[in-house]
Every structure is written in structure tokens, then in C-alpha cells.
Structure 1
Amino acid sequence: MNIIKRLFRIGKAEAHSAVNSLEDPIKMTEQGIREMKDQLDQSIQALAQVKALSIRRKNEQESLINQSNDYQNKAMLLVQKGVKEEMPIEEADRLAKEALKKKEQSMMDAQIADKERQKLETDVDKMQNNINALKSTISKWEGELKTLRARVQVSKATQDINKKMTQIDSDSTISMLEKMKDKVLQQEALADAYSHIADASKSIDQEINAAVDTSDAHAEMELQKLKEQFNAN
């Protein structure tokens, strides 16, 4: 009995075919793990039942051995009663023989129970090994699932980035950048033009005042007046 080979659907041909058909690998892995856990529960229940049978056969074996010893003791008592003439010797012998027969039958039944117990215990060991292997497999695939989720996220992110990159038209992007550059140059030239126009719009008085600054001459005249007043005093 190989439970593990019957469990994981991903290991089956149809699962491989489904993966090749681009079915969601995470969902399939989760489904496989759920199936293994269901089988684990069933296996544990079966193991408990087999263990119960093994314990029962062991108890029956011990009971039969005790029963055989009891018949042995009864046969001895019957023989003693016949020897001591506490009962007719023929009757004592007859009952002693019957007790010995039952003793032998009990011993035979105890041997059968022991063989069945041994077989059940062997089955228990095999089932326990399978359960341990199944637990280990579940633990492994739960770890694989975490890694798989991370790899799928990275794969999707990379796919999205690559897809967006392929959708970018490099020629149109360069063309757009060139147009923006031309627009900036045009705006700078327009600013210079407005500056020149502002300079050309100055009035003639502004040009004259800029060429001849009369402030110094006026100050000189005022200074002469002050000197004349001082000399007059």
C-alpha cells in the first residue's frame, strides 16, 4: 500500500496536462495539499482502528492464557479429589480430561490471537510510517506553496513591467521630447523679443534723461547760492 502515490493529483498525468494548459498553479497546489490532508485524516482514523484491533487481540490473548491456566488448575484439583476419594475417581478423571481439553483449546486460541496481534502490529508500523511520510510531504509542499506564491507575484510584476515597456513607442516618445525642447526654446526667444520691445518703447525724454543726468548741475547751482549767501554775511 503506497498512499502517497495515490494522493497528490499534481503528480498525475492529467495534472501535468492542466499545468501545460496554463491553469493556476497555486490553486492546483492548494487543492493537492487539501487532498493530502484529507487522506491524512482518513489514514489516522484507519490507524486508530487497527491499533484498537491490535490492543483487543492482545487482551484476548492474555485472557485466553489465563483461561488455559485456570483449566489446568481445575484439572489438577479434580485429579486430587479422585485420588483422595472425595468424588468417584471415574467422574474425577472424566471432568479432568474435559478441563484439559478446554485448556488446550484456550492455548490454541491464544496462539491464534497472538499471530493476529503480531500481524496487526506490523500493519500499524507500516501505516505509521506512511502517515509520517505523508506529514513530511504535506509540510514540504506547504513550504513549496509559499515559495510558489512569491515566485508568481514576481513573475506577474515582471510580466506587467515588460508588457508596459513593449507598449512604449520609442520613436513617438523621442518626437514628443523634441517638440517639448522646441517649445522651450520658442518661449525663451519670445521672452527676449518682449524685452527688446520694452527697450524700444522708451520715450524720448527717458532717452535724454538717461543720456544727460541734470541732477549734478542742479546741485552745483544750489551750492553756489549757499556760498554767495555766506560771503555776503
Structure 2
Amino acid sequence: MSLFKRLFKVGQSQAHAVVDKFEDPIRMTEQGIRDLKKDLLEAMTSLAEVKGIAIRTRKDSENNKKIAADYERKAMLLLQKIQNNEMDAQDAERIATEALSKKENHANEAVRLAQEAERHEQMANKLQSNVSKVKSSITTYENDLITLKARAKTAASTKKINKQLANVDSSGTIAMLEKMKAKVEEDESLSQAYGEIASADRSVDDEINAALESGQKVAASDSLLELKKKMGIT
């Protein structure tokens, strides 16, 4: 699967995610991030290799330039020997010609290597751009994953609460409360009735006792008067 297909897969999994299936897009996103990191590692390895080739090729080109310049310098020295009568002209020109031939070969090789180094550098720049894109994508999807996990946790909690509320029997609860209310009112009425009965009982006893005490007092008063009469006390 190509990098862009995997990116599309991750984006699609998030776009079509629903609350009841949050766990699936989370797994898909995590897998997409792992794939991206694998691609990033491969891209960075390729980038390092291409850059290494470009650096070596550029150095070889510069080295061939130096060698070409050195052969040219040697050819000039041979010609100077002819001018100074230090060497046979025919031999000096022959050797100088060979030096110039080598100089030309190294100069051409320097040009070829420079062009090759430029191609490798251009390829390295493209790979560097891809590496930067993959890094950016990984950062983006890791941030999205954090958000998605938070949403999933919130959704799960909300779902649990709503499910508990949905299972509550409101009519049964109201009926139970009404029954408790009736029971309390019944107990209160009975308590009041017993209180009135107790109060009524106490009142009758009090009246009886009062009446008896009053009769005793009347009888005692009559006896006293009768005794006084016998004794002639007025």
C-alpha cells in the first residue's frame, strides 16, 4: 500500500467514525501512524544514501578538476624546459601532449561527475521534501489521535450515564413514592387518633376522681355539723 493510500485510509477512518464504534478508528489511526513512521524511516535511509552518493560524486568531480589542472601545469613545465633548452623539444612536446590528453580526460570526467552529483542532489532535495511531509503528517495524526481518544472516552461515559437514565422506571418510582406518602399519612392519622383516645381516657378518669373526692368532702362536712350539734357548738 502506497503512502498516499495509507494517508487516505487514516483520514477516511476518522471521517466515518461513529460514537458506538470509536474503538475501530482509533486502531486504524494508530496503525496508520505506525505505517507512516515506517515509511519515514525508509525515506530517511534513502535520503542519507542519496546524499552520501551526491557528496562523494561532487568530491570526485572536484578531485578530477584538480588532477586536470595538475596535468596542464606539468605540460606547461615541459614546454618551459624546451624554452630553457633543458629537454629535447620532440620528447618534451610528446610528453606534454600526453599530459594534455590526460588533462582533457580528467576535465571531461569532472564535468560528467558534476552533472551526476547535481542529479543526486536534486533527488536528495525531493526525498527531503517527502520526509518533511511524512513528519508533518505524523504530527498531525498523532494530535488527531489524542483528540479522538478524548472524544471516545467522553462518548463512552455519556453513553453509560444515558443508558442508566434510560433504564430508570419513572412511573414505577412515582408509584412507589405515592405509596410511601399514603403510608406516612396513614401512620400520622393513627398516631393522632391514639393521642385523642389517650386524652379522652385521661379526662374521664379525672372527672370520676374529682366527683369521688367531691362526694367525700360533702360527707365529711355533714358529719362535722352533726358533731357540733351534739356538743352544743353553733
Give the TM-score normalised by structure 2: 0.77
- How many Å apart are 1:44 and its aligned residue? 2.0
In our comparison, the structure showing a higher alpha carbon Rg is 2
Equivalent residues of 1:47, 1:127 under 8 A apart = yes
Moved more, 64-73 or 150-159: 150-159
Match of 2:163 in 1: 163
In 2: Cα distance, 1:133 partner to 1:56 partner = 27
**Structure 1 residues 171 and 91, CA, compared in 2 at 3 Å: closer, same or farther?**
same
2:227 matched to which residue of 1?
none
Find the counterpart in structure 1 of residue 174 from structure 2. 174
Aligned-pair identity in percent equals 41
Query: Structure 1 residues 87 and 209 mapped into 2: Cα distance closer, same or farther (>3 Å)?
Result: farther
Q: Is the aligned partner of 1:140 residue 2:136?
A: no
**Cα–Cα, structure 1 residues 101 and 35, in superposed 2: closer, same or farther, change >3 Å?**
same
Pick closer, same or farther for the CA change 1:204–1:195 going to 2, 3 Å: closer
In 1, are the aligned partners of 2:68 and 2:102 still within 8 Å (CA)? yes
Partner of 1:8: 7
Going from structure 1 to structure 2, the CA distance change for 1:132 and 1:196 (only over 3 Å counts) comes to: same
Amino acid in the other structure paired with 1:161: I
5+ long unaligned stretches in structure 1 = 215-233
2:202 matched residue in structure 1: 202
Return the letter of the residue paired with 1:129. Answer: S
Q: Measure, in 1, the Cα distance between the counterparts of 2:56 and 2:198.
A: 114
Query: What amino acid sits opposite 1:10 in the alignment?
Result: K
Separation in structure 2 between the aligned mates of residue 91 and residue 50 of structure 1, nearest angstrom: 46
How far did 1:136 drift?
A: 1.5
Letter of the structure 1 residue corresponding to residue 101 of structure 2: K
TM-score (normalised: structure 1) = 0.77
Gapped regions of structure 2 (runs ≥ 5): 215-234
| Contact 2:26–2:148 under 8 Å retained in 1 | yes
**Whole-Å separation in 2 of the counterparts to 1:132 and 1:209:** 111
Structure 2 distance, partners of 1:27, 1:201, is 82
RMSD of equivalent CA atoms:
3.0
Summarize the alignment of residues 62-81 of structure 1 with structure 2, pairs less than 5 Å apart. 62-81=62-81
Q: CA deviation at 1:59?
A: 1.2
Structure 1, residues 176-214: CA drift from partner, whole Å, max 9, x if none? 222222222222222223312322442744346789xx9
| Distance in 2, Cα, partners of 1:210 & 1:158 | 75
Q: 1:51 to 1:6 in 2, by over 3 A?
A: farther
Give the conservation status (yes or no) of the 8 Å contact 1:9–1:32.
no
Q: Distance in 2 between matches of 1:28 and 1:38?
A: 15
8 Å Cα contact 1:71/1:100 also seen in 2: yes
CA distance in 2 between partners of 1:114 and 1:107 (Å): 11
